[in-house]
Homo-oligomer: A and B are copies of this chain.
Amino acid sequence: MVQQASFITSLVTSCVVFLVLNLVYIILHRRPGNAVIYYPLRLLRGEDAATVAKRHGAFTWIVESFRATEDDIVAAGGLDAAVYMHLFTAALEIVFFSALFCVPVLITLSSRSNYNQVQQSRDANFTYTSFDNLGMGNVEPSSRKIWAFLIGMFWVSIVTYFVLWTSYRRILNMRDRVQGSAYARPQQFVVLVRDIPKTDGKETRTEQVERFFSKVHPGEYSRVQPVHKIKPVEKIFSEREEALRKLEHAEAVWELSKKKEGGGDGKRPVHRTGFMGLWGPKVDSIDYLRDKSQELTPELEKEQRRTRQDLEKDAAFVIFKDRREATEAAQVVHAPHALKWKVNQAPEPEEVCWNSLYIPAWSRAIRRIIVNTLTVLLIVFYMIPIAFVAGLTTLENLEKLLPFIKSLLKIPVLAEAIQAYLPQLALLIFLALLPKIMLILSQAEGFASQSQVVRSASSKYFYFIIFNVFLGVTIFGAVFSNISSVNFLISQSNLSPTKVVQLFGSKLPPVASYYITYVALKFFIGYGLELSRLVPLLLFTFKRKFKCKTERELKEAWAPGAFTYHKNIASDLLILTISLCYAVIAPLILPFAIMYYALGWLIMRNQALNVHVPDWESHGSFWPHIHNRILAALLVAQITALGYFGVKQFPFTPVLVVLPIASAIFYVFCRNNYYPSIRYVSLWTASEVPKAKPPPGAIAEAYTPACLQEGHPGIRDRRSNLATQLDSSINAVL
């Protein structure tokens, strides 16, 4: 009964925290001073802080979020945000329709069985809660009732296929509307050529590319923008930028001191030139920094010239006269040996990874192998500490290990709180480090665009989370609770895939309530923090007080940042994986999953409409990634069901083999028929004649990195320029 009480404690406390955070949001978000935290996207679009904040009632955000159409979201956050929102829609549909059958039918059937009781009468050590009575674990083995659970598994699978199928079509339509829009974006005219072979030495890179393209695309291409090795010039550019920033800061400090003194000369800031300003001679900051930035300017110009002349690498952007022709070129094999002259649609200028563009194909292949090997090692070896933590953090084990804790646990509230939160907290801390590591690993792979890096990181994190959190916690958490199963697992001769599936199946029901609390924690605390934006608010207040002196610094302090797709997608999909696996075995999880995705749907739409500013736009390239991983989650659920139905000694278990095969067929079907439409733009869409198209010069300018642009102001605005850019293109379109 302790388990059940701790389960309820966990739910109640989570809920209380959520309500508190909600209250915080309701109070704070209507104060104009906080508009930079709660409505940064609208401010960047030029709306007024006071009006934005006042316009909103306490719960207006819910209505607005609910009413926003897909096109509104595309206009606010771009296609990527809309696709991410659709993850919530699709997941909500899947868990909702699954629940329609599973909750009423299967829970009733389970509650009318009493196998748990029978087991307890046989084995005194066997414990169960009244929640466990509502799951498949309570049904007698090889009972005819199991047919209903089998049908449930089919129902869940069919619902998932159907939702995924309609989702792909909706995403395609949405994407098509944006791609074929009358206002053309620069990216639609450009292809990226990589792995250009060596020149014969007589002609420059540009001439070589022009010769090739004037043969294979006669009369269609307009100019070539070569890619340079920008590391040296970028170094000088950053130094100058840093100096200019510091100069701006020093001037602001001086102005402030003047104001403080009331019209006097003020106190000019000084600093030391040595390491971190701790050593070296003291200088007047303003004079020193002005001199430094002025010295760096001619040096930068010289380096820019040298880069343009001598550092052309074997990649280039080729700008076409027409969208149709660029689209066509991006899909075609150009050279007789496909290893050379690899042509692809160019990424949007903001998401280009400049330093990866000219990594040769063989190096990319090797990098990929190394990175994937490292990822596998990371996934496998992270399992060991996680397994121990999961094993330790059950109360019984803690007592065994740390006897002094026993006295603490005599206080029932404390015992319950530890029981409820310790395992989840341990898990959450372990996981917080991972996404960043995965992102760094993916950057090393040599992708041409940020979105590919993020997709790859998200994929790594997803596999990590499935293997370690889901499989790891379930198997090890259950196995480590008694020594005999450890021995069972270690004695290698018993270890085979079939065995692992069966073992996994048999260990699922006992940890069902663990996952329910995990889901509840995730959505109450996670979404509470997301909505109330307490952390950014506190950080901003702190920075405004102690650090920021200039307008620019202030703006950068409240700049909201984009959605962290590489982190969010994987953890949202984890909840779906858990829900699908338990949908039939412990259907009680479904209402919680519905709440998770319904709340997520509302709050994330609010964030997309008002808060997050995209760093770049990849035109919905995330959907195939999400689609495949939802399908993978379903596959895990189907294989788990195979194991668990086998454990329940149901003679018709082999019927379930149909499901993984159906998933494989569905995967191939979508990959062949829908994936090409997202990977490429269709010729029909690209043939729509745009009303306005950017001039080739402007396109070439857009595909020049900041440090090579002539007459660049010297300070890049971090994370605020895309919002205005979105305004001028997407927004105008819809």
A684 with B328: CB separation less than 8 A: no
Whether, in the assembled complex, A67 has its beta carbon less than 8 Å from a beta carbon of chain B, the answer is no
Whether, in the assembled complex, A169 has its beta carbon less than 8 Å from a beta carbon of chain B, the answer is yes
Whether, in the assembled complex, A408 has its beta carbon less than 8 Å from a beta carbon of chain B, the answer is no
Whether, in the assembled complex, A676 has its beta carbon less than 8 Å from a beta carbon of chain B, the answer is yes
- Chain B residues lying within 8 Å of A143, measured Cβ to Cβ, are none
A333 with B682: CB separation less than 8 A: yes
Docked pose: A687 CA to B687 CA in angstroms: 23
- Chain B residues lying within 8 Å of A484, measured Cβ to Cβ, are none
Docked pose: A333 CA to B676 CA in angstroms: 7
Within 8 A of B (CB), among A644-697: 665, 669, 673-677, 680-685, 687
Docked pose: A632 CA to B49 CA in angstroms: 65
Docked pose: A336 CA to B678 CA in angstroms: 9
Contact of A677 among B337, B675, B683 (CB under 8 A): B337
Docked pose: A107 CA to B409 CA in angstroms: 70
- Chain B residues lying within 8 Å of A674, measured Cβ to Cβ, are 337-339
- Chain B residues lying within 8 Å of A270, measured Cβ to Cβ, are none
Given contacts A497-B496, A684-B216, contact A332 B334 (CB under 8 A): no
A677 with B338: CB separation less than 8 A: yes
A336 with B680: CB separation less than 8 A: no
- Chain B residues lying within 8 Å of A365, measured Cβ to Cβ, are 669
Given contacts A328-B328, A496-B497, A497-B496, contact A673 B336 (CB under 8 A): no
Given contacts A496-B496, A665-B369, contact A215 B684 (CB under 8 A): yes
- Chain B residues lying within 8 Å of A498, measured Cβ to Cβ, are 496
Whether, in the assembled complex, A331 has its beta carbon less than 8 Å from a beta carbon of chain B, the answer is yes
Whether, in the assembled complex, A228 has its beta carbon less than 8 Å from a beta carbon of chain B, the answer is no
Contact of A332 among B215, B496, B680 (CB under 8 A): B680
Contact of A683 among B176, B334, B680 (CB under 8 A): B334
- Chain B residues lying within 8 Å of A333, measured Cβ to Cβ, are 331, 676-677, 680-683
User: Per-residue 0/1 for A554-582: is the Cβ within 8 Å of any B Cβ (1 yes, 0 no)?
Assistant: 00000000000000000000000000000
Whether, in the assembled complex, A732 has its beta carbon less than 8 Å from a beta carbon of chain B, the answer is no
Interchain nearest-CB distance for A443 vs B (Å): 21
Docked pose: A365 CA to B341 CA in angstroms: 34
Whether, in the assembled complex, A499 has its beta carbon less than 8 Å from a beta carbon of chain B, the answer is yes
Whether, in the assembled complex, A612 has its beta carbon less than 8 Å from a beta carbon of chain B, the answer is no
Given contacts A332-B331, A497-B497, contact A338 B682 (CB under 8 A): yes
A334 with B499: CB separation less than 8 A: no
- Chain B residues lying within 8 Å of A499, measured Cβ to Cβ, are 496
Contact of A334 among B215, B673, B684 (CB under 8 A): B684
- Chain B residues lying within 8 Å of A336, measured Cβ to Cβ, are 172-173, 176, 180, 677, 682, 684-685
Residue of B nearest to A493 (CB): B498
B496 with A361: CB separation less than 8 A: no
- Chain B residues lying within 8 Å of A685, measured Cβ to Cβ, are 336
A673 with B339: CB separation less than 8 A: yes
- Chain B residues lying within 8 Å of A212, measured Cβ to Cβ, are 684
Whether, in the assembled complex, A324 has its beta carbon less than 8 Å from a beta carbon of chain B, the answer is yes
Whether, in the assembled complex, A19 has its beta carbon less than 8 Å from a beta carbon of chain B, the answer is no
- Chain B residues lying within 8 Å of A425, measured Cβ to Cβ, are none
- Chain B residues lying within 8 Å of A733, measured Cβ to Cβ, are none
Whether, in the assembled complex, A256 has its beta carbon less than 8 Å from a beta carbon of chain B, the answer is no
Docked pose: A173 CA to B336 CA in angstroms: 8
A682 with B334: CB separation less than 8 A: yes
- Chain B residues lying within 8 Å of A331, measured Cβ to Cβ, are 331-333
Interchain nearest-CB distance for A368 vs B (Å): 9
Interface size on A, residues (CB 8 A): 44
A324 with B216: CB separation less than 8 A: yes
- Chain B residues lying within 8 Å of A338, measured Cβ to Cβ, are 673-677, 682
Whether, in the assembled complex, A335 has its beta carbon less than 8 Å from a beta carbon of chain B, the answer is yes
User: Per-residue 0/1 for A196-216: is the Cβ within 8 Å of any B Cβ (1 yes, 0 no)?
Assistant: 000000000000000010011
A335 with B216: CB separation less than 8 A: no
- Chain B residues lying within 8 Å of A176, measured Cβ to Cβ, are 336
Interchain nearest-CB distance for A212 vs B (Å): 8
Interchain nearest-CB distance for A102 vs B (Å): 28
A335 with B684: CB separation less than 8 A: yes
- Chain B residues lying within 8 Å of A675, measured Cβ to Cβ, are 338
Docked pose: A333 CA to B687 CA in angstroms: 12
Docked pose: A638 CA to B215 CA in angstroms: 46
Docked pose: A337 CA to B669 CA in angstroms: 13
Docked pose: A331 CA to B216 CA in angstroms: 15
Within 8 A of B (CB), among A495-531: 496-499
Contact of A216 among B497, B665, B683 (CB under 8 A): B683
Within 8 A of B (CB), among A282-340: 324, 327-329, 331-339
Interchain nearest-CB distance for A370 vs B (Å): 11
Residue of B nearest to A688 (CB): B215
A337 with B169: CB separation less than 8 A: yes
- Chain B residues lying within 8 Å of A217, measured Cβ to Cβ, are 683
Residue of B nearest to A195 (CB): B673
Residue of B nearest to A686 (CB): B216
- Chain B residues lying within 8 Å of A334, measured Cβ to Cβ, are 682-684
The interface centre, meaning the residue of A336, A337, A498, A499 with most chain B CB atoms within 10 A of its CB, is: A336
- Chain B residues lying within 8 Å of A172, measured Cβ to Cβ, are 336-337
- Chain B residues lying within 8 Å of A328, measured Cβ to Cβ, are 328-329, 332
Docked pose: A228 CA to B498 CA in angstroms: 52
- Chain B residues lying within 8 Å of A680, measured Cβ to Cβ, are 332-333
Interchain nearest-CB distance for A221 vs B (Å): 12
Residue of B nearest to A176 (CB): B336
- Chain B residues lying within 8 Å of A173, measured Cβ to Cβ, are 336
Contact of A687 among B215, B341, B497 (CB under 8 A): B215
Docked pose: A83 CA to B255 CA in angstroms: 80
User: Per-residue 0/1 for A359-402: is the Cβ within 8 Å of any B Cβ (1 yes, 0 no)?
Assistant: 00100010001000000000000000000000000000000000
Can you list 29 A-B contacts (CB < 8 A)?
A: A169-B337, A173-B336, A176-B336, A215-B687, A216-B683, A216-B684, A216-B687, A217-B683, A328-B332, A331-B332, A332-B332, A332-B680, A333-B680, A333-B681, A335-B682, A335-B684, A336-B682, A336-B684, A337-B674, A338-B674, A338-B676, A338-B677, A339-B674, A361-B673, A365-B669, A496-B496, A496-B497, A496-B498, A496-B499
New A-B contacts (17) at CB < 8 Å, excluding given A169-B337, A172-B336, A328-B332: A216-B683, A217-B683, A328-B329, A333-B677, A333-B681, A334-B682, A334-B683, A335-B684, A336-B684, A338-B673, A338-B675, A338-B677, A338-B682, A365-B669, A496-B497, A496-B498, A496-B499
9 closest A-B pairs by beta carbon, nearest first, are A496-B496, A216-B683, A338-B677, A176-B336, A338-B676, A336-B682, A333-B680, A331-B332, A339-B673
